[in-house]
Structure 1
Amino acid sequence: MDVLIVDDEPLARQRLARMLDKLDGYDLVAEAENGEAALAAICKFDPDIVLLDVRMPGEDGLSVARRIGALDDPPAVIFCTAFDQYALDAFGTEAVGYLLKPVKSEQLLEALTKAQRLNKVQRAAFSQNQTPTGNLRSHISAKTRRGVELIPLDDVRYFIADHKYVTVYHVNGEHLLDETLKELEEEFSQRFLRIHRNALVSVKHIEAIERTAQGQYQVRLSNTEMRPIVSRRHVGGLKALLKHL
C-alpha cells in the first residue's frame, strides 16, 4: 500500500516515515508540508492512504480531508495530530482513523490495516453489482468534424481522462467527450471498471493483467494494442475480479 505523509513539521514526518519503514506492505511514496502540496502529491502518486495532520499553516487538515473526499477516487485518510478536540469533526470528513501524537507503532498499524480493509470493500463494490439495469445508454455521443457520432458501448475499450477532457478509445479510433470520468463511472458501473484515477476499462474486453519491465501493471484488452496502466491501489481489486470472469 502506498502512503503519503502530510505534516508541516519535518521531525513529525521523519518519525512517521521511520515507523512505516518497519512495516511490511507499506511504502512511503511522498511527503507534503501543507494542503496544496498534499493534493498535488495525491494527483501525482495516487496513494492508497494519507496520514494527515490537522493544524498546519494555511488550509487546515480538516478542510484538506474534505477536498480529498471530493475526488473521484479518494485515498483513505488517517489523521495524526496532537489535539483530540478535532476528532468529531475529523470523522465527519469520513476519515478512517484518528491517531494522537506521539503515534505508537501498534496504533499506526491498526489504523493502516483498517484503511486497507475499507479500500478492499470499496473495490469489491463493482463485482457485487453486475446486474444491468436495462435503462442505460447503449451508445456514447461524441462531437467530431462530421457532427455528432454515436459510438456503441460494445465497441468501447476504455476511457482516459486528461485534465478537463475525457477520450474514449474504441475499435474504430478515439474521440473527445463532453462527459466527465466520474459521470461515466456512475452511469456504467456495471460495465466499466476504474483501474486508475484517470482510467475506466471495459470489463468484458479485459484479457489479462500484465507487468511491464518497469514494474508497472497494465491491462491487455481485446482488439487493441493500447495497454492502460493500472495504479497499485487498484491491482488487488482487478486481480480479484479476473478470477471470476
Structure 2
Amino acid sequence: MLKFFGKVFLIMKKRTVIIAEDDNNSSEILQEFLKKAADFEIVGVAENGEELIELNFNLKPDVALVDIGLPVLDGMKAIKECIKTNPSLQYIFTTAYEEFAVEAFDISAADYIVKPIKKIRLYEALEKIKSPVPSEEPVAADKKSKKLIVKTGTALQVINSDTIVFIEKINRKTFIHTREMTYESNETLGNYAKMLNDNFFSSHRSYLINLNFVSQIISDGETYFIYFHDFSKYAHVSKLKYLELVEKLKR
C-alpha cells in the first residue's frame, strides 16, 4: 500500500495475520472479512492452541485473531507462549463469553470481540492496531528462520533447517525430509518457502529443495530428477525451473 504524507511517499507492507479458531463457521467469517481489509493479509489458520504456537513460531505474523476457547491449549495460554518468540505480535481475542475481557486486557490484547463477529466490529478492532509496519526490506539469508517447529502427534518438533534435504507436498500433506528422518506437516509448501533462507529453491510446485545437498540432475525424457549427496530419496524439477536451478547451482 502506498500512503502519501506531504511530499513523502511511504510504502507500507500489509500486516500479516494468523487466525486461530476451532469453529469452522467463525473461521470462515473472519477469513472473508479479512480478505476485504486492504492492509491485512492472512498467512495461516490454526484450529487449536498448539497449531497457533507452531504457526507463530514459523511465520512470525504481525497480528493474531484468537478464539479464547481453543481446544488442546486455550487461546490465552497459547498467546502467552507466542509472545515469548514473537514479542511484537499484536493480538485480538474473540469469544462467546464476556467474562474473560479483564484477563485479555491484562495481557495487553489490542481488543476483545464477543461473538457473533460483525464486520464493522472487527474493522474497529483492527484499527486499534496502529503501529505502522514499514515496507519489508530484502531479508538476508542468515536472518531468515534457521529452525522450523512442526507438530508431530502430541509433540512440537524443532528442526534445524540445515539438516533439511528437501520438502515435498503429497496431496494435502507436506513431508520434511532430513538426514535422520521424515516429518509430516499440515503447513503449506509456500509458507515453508517464506520461512527458509535462500539455500532453498522451489524446483517444482510440489518440491522445495536444499541447494547445498544437490549432487546431480538426471533427465529421463522430459522428466528431471534431483539427487542428493548420500541420500536415497529424490525430488523433481519442472522444465520451467530447470535452467533457473542450474544457474543457482553455479553460484
TM-score, structure 2 normalization: 0.47
Is the strand fraction higher in 1 or 2? 2
TM-score, structure 1 normalization: 0.48
